[in-house]
Structure 1
Amino acid sequence: MPAMLDNPLLQPWMTPFETPPFDQIKPAHFIPAFEQAFGDHVAEIEAIAADPAAPDFDNTITALERSGRLLNRVAAVFYDLVSAHSSPALLEIDSEVSLRMARHWNPILMNAALFARIDQLYQRRAELSLTPEQARLLERTYTRFRRAGAGLDQSAKDRLAAINERLAQLGTSFSHHLLGDEQDWFMEIGPDDCDGLPDSFVAAAKAAAEERGLAGKAVVTLSRSSVEPFLKSSTRRDLREKVYKAFIARGDNGNGNDNNAIITEILQLREETAKLLGYPTFAAYRLDDSMAKTPEAVRDLLQRVWRPARARALADRDALQALIAEEGGNFELAPWDWRYYAEKLRQRRADFDDAAIKPYLTLDHMIAAAFDTAQHLFGLSFTLRSDVPVWHPDVRVWEVKDRTGAHKALFYGDYFARPSKRSGAWMTSLRDQQKLDGAIAPLIINVCNFAKGTGGAPALLSPDDARTLFHEFGHALHGLLSDVTYPSLSGTAVFTDFVELPSQLYEHWQEQPQVLQRFARHHQSGEPLPDDLLRRFLAARQFNQGFATVEFVASALIDLEFHTQPAAAIGEIASFEQRELAKIGMPQEIALRHRPTQFGHIFSGDHYASGYYSYMWSEVMDADAFGAFEEAGNIFDPNVAQRLHDYIYASGGSRDPAEAYAAFRGRDPAPDALLRRRGLLDQAEAA
């Protein structure tokens, strides 16, 4: 009892909106809190499974929805810190918690008595007079337990439980290794190394050095927000090569952070999981519970995009090589050259480069633009709060209100790169919306890795950074606007190949002239983005789309092949990678967006395993969905926005996603919208 009284994770949170008291939480609090939460949850599950009353929706499905609240609360805080502000102590705890979490969930999801109750209800579902949301929840609960092995014999259950425990350990190790390589490497740059680098990049490099205790120096790190601008701008080919090779070697250095053996074991165990559950491959298992349904459907989409993208990339490669020759270069275009010469070619063809617009894209103005778009579409308002505890001084919190002025949610923004944060950008939550026992307002988080300004200068975003901000805020809106009763259906609890629709769709507003004309203002003068620069920016949007599409689709195809081919046939990971790239005709001047040893989407856990294609599957829908606003002649059309709110953003997982999209759009999506958006339709038609 004294330990519980001293543990803020186990006490009521006497904070604004009952938010986590991050200023009081220490690593030592987590293991006792998890132990209490695991115990409470087990007792709740045992009571449901042993209930002598005949199963009904309330005493079984609703009871499951009410169970595990303490565990959800503790886990949400823990995983936010592990990802956004880790420490050696937290990473050590993470290794233990990942195993204990698997050991906790395995007997629950394979509980025969509990599944028998769920199965009885599912078989009688037509007789139960359920609401549409309740019917959806029953179907999803039944599917979740069945796919977790609840219907297997005991021997198969035991083996599957052991596999799940090992996969949890391997996924955590993969993530820790990747973070370790990213933390360990940096390249110091002196005044003689900065030729071509914008002032904003040098300022960010100095801030990154200061984060690492190297005040007064400047460093390039392995954060994508550091690497890609360097590769675009640096005139030093030798340094570009050094940075590029370090970036693509993460997790593949033969050191203590090497991920090759982990990948091999993960693939073997996933294949065994699929066969235990009656599927020929892990991809078949995973995609059976998705919009795509089959590996063949995914491959068809990716190949449809691959052919025109590759043709465009090859044409661009020849143009870049010609540019090198024109400048007197006596070398073949290499992967570390592509971005640099592509920027030169873009300046020539479109009279535009990122450095010209970056001074107008301040972080605060782009946040304001994302908020303003949400206000126009959905009636939301955002007020900065200084009284909500946060996990790092850089984190900001806004109270979100609806169009009536009523409290809707809190939104946390954690935007800057730092050594304690894993790379990338993501949305997560500390609390999900639900209405099961009164209205519960969500606590939604966006985490990014933008470069911080120095000396009081604002953070400046590249166009890609600004797009990322809108993308993640689209995910955030999926959580903020959720309006469902049951927590398991809240917000982003949807199929993987549907979850990217709200985020990718929201990107469209970031590049709209009327948004940029209001919010793109020079960070020094405050002058709005000049019309001519805006015109050139918009004209250049489709430049280099062959490259961008090829690096993505190749990664998605590799993911699919990893999970459709027999694990025993894959062999050495780098050799498999090269074989598959040769099979599809990958241009040697372009690397995968995520090489296997750093492919956290599919190996740090299994959420996107066999599912990296989801971004492109969703892009078919998002490109088509924005067309509804264009057809209305108003990018903020209130009728279209209301349908978007009701059927996409607010409905969470309470509807079948295909039905939800058709309800919004009035029809299925048109696949050519994706190719048209990327400027690849002409190549597709030619092919």
Structure 2
Amino acid sequence: MTQAANPLLGKFNTLHETIPFGIIKITDYEPAFDEAIRIHQEEIDSIVNQTETPTFENTIATLDQSGKMLGRVSSVFFALLSADGDDEMNEISQRISPKLTEHGNSITLNEKLFERVKSVYEQRETLDLTSEQQMLLTETYESMAKKGANLKGENREKYRRLKTELSQLTLQFGQNVLKATNSFEMLLTDSADLAGLPESVMEAAAYQAKEKGKEGYLFDLSFPSYVPFMKYSSRRDLREKMYRAYNSRCLQGKYDNTDILKRIAELRYEIANLMGKENYAEYALEFKMAKNSHNVYNLLNRLLDAYKPVAEKEIQEVQVFANRMEGKNIPLMPWDWSYYSEKLKDAKYDLNDEIMKPYFELEKVKMGVFGLATRLYGITFKPNKDIPVYHPEVEAFEVLDSNDRYIGVLYTDFHPRATKRSGAWMTEFKGQWKENGEDSRPHITIVMNFTKPTGDKPALLTYDEVNTFLHEFGHALHGLLTECTYTSLSGTNVYRDFVELPSQFMENYMTEKDFLDTFARHYQTGEPIPQELIEKIKAASQYNAGYNCVRQLTFGLLDMAWHTINSPVKDALKFEQDSISRTQLFPIVEGTAISNQFGHIFSGGYAAGYYGYKWAEVLDADAFSLFREKGIFDKTTATSFKENILERGGSEDPMTLYKRFRGHEPGIEALMKRDGIIEE
């Protein structure tokens, strides 16, 4: 099959061999997958059938280099499925997912291949390997063993069946969440229904209605629509309507995920049981920084003990404020929190999104975020129209180092659309590796759902949206700056509970005057953000730190609960409520649930891993404390962070890399100081 027949399978004749999106048809994907699977299987067979004694180079390194065509097709398809997928792509994903799972199983469970890998692994103490080669050897062996390579007979076949069913259900779970999210709209035509909403929120809602050929103000469950409505609408009944719609997604009806999520949890338990583990968490955590569920619970419980009393005081303060504001007792419900806490924040700090947004014009924010990377690491971002993009809203940049050496491509995709799933994420169209003296550089994309431009007004971001941009950009830097030899260790291919360090580290700059001064200009007057406003941002940075932490702990504990089961769950709703009772800060709302829409753990990669966000917060607070000590733009410190964290990918144990940068293991004290839980 030639490129003329299928552009996904040939050489890309584009700048930096970027993906030629414009010539790829949706009918190209399935045959491309089939051919790429065939090619990969041939590559595996050539490793298995060779007569030479197994060595690191002819087995481990060659295995890492195999499957590049399949990796290319998969990266393109699944990245677009999340960012710009339609029903036809969803249907293709349902057909191709079992094939990919079966192909993956055929490699993992290939006895002759595993014998070769195991043979090299058993010689590891006598081999002259670099630290990266040692890591690749260990990861290759342990990954295959963890995926059933040591299983025999019926257990092998059972593993295949379980993994195939699991891949189909996780895909279905995510698609149900997307469809349920897109199925709800609230069109307001009465001015009384708009009470409390700022002009910018109403403009965005009117613009959205107009785009869909409707009169009035259209609100939906996408973040740029849902979050401002919940924060500013004084119509408590409509806030409740929105809250219930958002938190009842996939709880009933044709997109009901209840049976799916219970079965996903059961399948994971059965897989763990096959591997001799008492539950899925122990199976998943063995090769993470946390190592086991005891250490995860230790972190979550220590944080809960420290932060919950603070959260309860914060809620009481908001309750008193709400009662005073309304002149009567208003028992706080979940749909009241954003509204009244925002009002209190405004009263305490004279600070809200409407005050800040004029200083956060998207184009200027981009300049500031990119400029931060230039200041820290010497890299620059050059927009290039010759690089094809998959949607008119997407922009592509060549990324260059301080010597104008090409180091990668970055795609940015900022605004919501019906074909894009909710949230924000970074992924890659192509990873990085070194082969035959050539450094093949990465193509990275960051995808978000930020406030759109409305009419003549540019996209003005909220504080949280700028923070999210910094977060995903941190992931992008991890992917772009990597300098590894092997594909499976480069970039963000690190332990799940280490991957959030580079992203959350970047968020620390959001409260730094010297950073905000580089880009925050009023979109109309060009005036820099006032010093007074920066001081308010800094002062408000600890606002509701207790509540925000406990909310994250809720998700972490729920994730751990689902992945420490040792028998099927009969009542998913009761199971959830029991699992998070210790973090419950508001009355339970009947007909709502977290689990049914919890894509991170049921359709993403965070099963028994959501704790990683708090784990990484401990790391990033500790890491940034060194920058505070040396200077937030200190070149020496930034170079050390780049060389020991960003460039190294998963080439060494993450704690080794972290200690090399920081000089010691992290503790929770820096995080608690940053959040104001304990004094500096």
Instruction: Give me the TM-score of the superposition, normalised by structure 1.
Output: 0.96
> Offset at 1:99?
1.1
Cα 1:289/1:256, change in 2 over 3 Å: same
Corresponding residue of 2:66:
67
> Offset at 1:453?
1.3
Contact 1:370-1:510 at 8 Å conserved across structures:
no
Distance 2:69 2:422 in 1: 29
3-state SS of paired residue (2:289): coil
> Offset at 1:224?
2.2
Corresponding residue of 1:198:
198
Contact 1:601-1:608 at 8 Å conserved across structures:
yes
3-state SS of paired residue (1:428): strand
Aligned residues: 676
Contact 2:428-2:444 at 8 Å conserved across structures:
yes
Report the AA paired with residue 647 of structure 1. Answer: N
Corresponding residue of 2:6:
7
Contact 1:547-1:590 at 8 Å conserved across structures:
no
| Superposed CA offset, 1:349-407 (max 9, x none) | 22222221111111111111111110011100111111111111000111100010111
- In the alignment, structure 1 residue 617 sits paired with structure 2 residue 600: no
Corresponding residue of 2:666:
669
Pick which of 219-228 and 608-617 moved more: 219-228
Corresponding residue of 1:646:
643
Corresponding residue of 2:632:
635
Distance 1:367 1:241 in 2: 35
Unmatched runs of 5 consecutive residues or more in structure 1? none
| Superposed CA offset, 1:4-34 (max 9, x none) | 6321112211111111111111211100000
> Offset at 1:585?
4.8
> Offset at 1:332?
1.1
Contact 1:338-1:589 at 8 Å conserved across structures:
no
**Identity rate of aligned residues, in percent?**
40
Distance 2:588 2:7 in 1: 49
Distance 2:284 2:259 in 1: 23
Distance 2:171 2:239 in 1: 31
For 2:297, which of 292, 295, 299 is the aligned residue? 299
> Offset at 1:590?
8.5
Report the AA paired with residue 559 of structure 1. Answer: D
Contact 1:13-1:19 at 8 Å conserved across structures:
yes
Report the AA paired with residue 172 of structure 1. Answer: L
> Offset at 1:599?
0.6
Corresponding residue of 1:441:
441
> Offset at 1:260?
0.4
Corresponding residue of 2:258:
260
Distance 1:341 1:214 in 2: 34
Matches within 5 A, 1:456-471: 456-471=456-471
Matches within 5 A, 1:405-484: 405-437=404-436, 438-484=438-484
Distance 2:73 2:51 in 1: 31
Cα 1:215/1:367, change in 2 over 3 Å: farther
3-state SS of paired residue (1:498): coil
Contact 2:248-2:593 at 8 Å conserved across structures:
no
Contact 2:511-2:537 at 8 Å conserved across structures:
no
| Superposed CA offset, 1:535-560 (max 9, x none) | 11110111112221111111100110
Contact 2:332-2:586 at 8 Å conserved across structures:
no
Report the AA paired with residue 273 of structure 1. Answer: I
Distance 1:390 1:591 in 2: 43
Corresponding residue of 1:317:
315
Pick which of 292-301 and 191-200 moved more: 191-200
Corresponding residue of 1:567:
567
Contact 2:54-2:116 at 8 Å conserved across structures:
yes
Contact 1:373-1:509 at 8 Å conserved across structures:
no
3-state SS of paired residue (1:411): strand
Pick which of 586-595 and 58-67 moved more: 586-595
Contact 2:397-2:411 at 8 Å conserved across structures:
yes
Distance 2:678 2:229 in 1: 31
Distance 2:673 2:207 in 1: 40
Distance 1:209 1:64 in 2: 52
Distance 2:66 2:420 in 1: 31
Contact 1:647-1:663 at 8 Å conserved across structures:
yes
- In the alignment, structure 1 residue 159 sits paired with structure 2 residue 158: yes
Distance 1:456 1:433 in 2: 40
Contact 1:482-1:651 at 8 Å conserved across structures:
yes
| Superposed CA offset, 1:275-297 (max 9, x none) | 10011110011111100011010
Q: Cα RMSD between the aligned structures? A: 1.7
Distance 1:643 1:63 in 2: 31
Distance 1:476 1:540 in 2: 28
Corresponding residue of 2:366:
367
Distance 1:308 1:99 in 2: 45
> Offset at 1:215?
5.2
| Superposed CA offset, 1:247-282 (max 9, x none) | 111111x11111000011011111110010011110
Unmatched runs of 5 consecutive residues or more in structure 2? none
Distance 2:405 2:477 in 1: 16
Corresponding residue of 2:209:
209
| Superposed CA offset, 1:190-235 (max 9, x none) | 3432222222222322343345x23554311111232121111111
Matches within 5 A, 1:5-404: 5-190=4-189, 191-211=191-211, 213-214=212-213, 217-252=216-251, 254-326=252-324, 327-404=326-403
Contact 2:553-2:583 at 8 Å conserved across structures:
no
> Offset at 1:681?
2.8
Contact 1:237-1:337 at 8 Å conserved across structures:
yes
3-state SS of paired residue (2:397): strand
Distance 1:482 1:538 in 2: 32
Distance 2:210 2:101 in 1: 39
For 2:655, which of 655, 658, 661 is the aligned residue? 658
- In the alignment, structure 1 residue 508 sits paired with structure 2 residue 505: no
Contact 1:207-1:453 at 8 Å conserved across structures:
no
Contact 2:311-2:547 at 8 Å conserved across structures:
yes
Corresponding residue of 1:543:
543
Matches within 5 A, 1:520-559: 520-559=520-559
Distance 2:136 2:578 in 1: 43
Pick which of 587-596 and 558-567 moved more: 587-596
> Offset at 1:463?
1.0
Contact 1:263-1:603 at 8 Å conserved across structures:
yes
| Superposed CA offset, 1:396-422 (max 9, x none) | 111100010111111000000111100
Pick which of 36-45 and 16-25 moved more: 16-25
| Superposed CA offset, 1:291-329 (max 9, x none) | 001101001111111123221221122222212221223
